[in-house]
Structure 1
């Protein structure tokens, strides 16, 4: 199992969510509103937020845990629909998940996602 985290532009969320929803067997996605900065430190960003003298840019974080076989398909969808070609398009992080426990049923592993 892999966890895929993607930091994307808020304006791209709808398209990405629609395409992820269309993937057969997609277990679900968690979405969080976040803010941060990259190498450019948000100095010239049009949508920046000033918080205690530090510039941040609003972004959305998607998180999903999938079987190894689904990773490429999910990453490709995010890459395709998040891409604008401009600085600040975001990042995709892929991590290995050792185990998952479904709280309601106590299922573990693949059955829990």
Structure 2
């Protein structure tokens, strides 16, 4: 099993979620996040709208799912197709191995397939 974690622009969450559904992903966790990186920093207006400054962080979303090893390339392609604009700051995808998963409701353990 592989854990796929994508840091994307928050306005791309719905498109990525739909792409994951079409790719056959059964579930995902989506968290609101702030981050900084190569992308353009957003401008923030002052209290009365008379001044503006660059925000330290950009608003991002963290999309996490766990898939079988054979599904990794398809899921990455789905995320890239939905989230990429070709610009710096589009985000990152991280893939890591999952040694074991436990379904809390059924208490079933899995080491090679999904629970």
Q: Does the CA-based 8 Å contact 1:16-1:81 persist in structure 2?
A: yes
For normalisation by structure 1, the TM-score amounts to 0.83
Q: Does 2:105 match 1:104?
A: yes
Local SS of the residue matching 1:92:
strand
Q: Does the CA-based 8 Å contact 1:99-1:108 persist in structure 2?
A: yes
Q: Does 2:71 match 1:70?
A: yes
The CA distance in 2 between the partners of 1:94 and 1:47, in whole Å, is 32
For normalisation by structure 2, the TM-score amounts to 0.82
2:83 aligned partner: 82
Which segments of 5 or more consecutive residues in structure 2 lack a partner in the other structure? 45-54
Query: Of the two, which has the highest radius of gyration?
Result: 2
Following superposition, the deviation at residue 16 of structure 1 comes to 1.1
Instruction: Say how many residue pairs are matched.
Output: 103
**Larger % of strand: which?**
2
Q: Does the CA-based 8 Å contact 1:27-1:65 persist in structure 2?
A: no
Following superposition, the deviation at residue 46 of structure 1 comes to 2.2
Q: Does the CA-based 8 Å contact 2:23-2:78 persist in structure 1?
A: no
Which segments of 5 or more consecutive residues in structure 1 lack a partner in the other structure? 49-53
Structure 1's consecutive aligned runs of 4 or more residues displaced over 4 angstroms after TM superposition are none
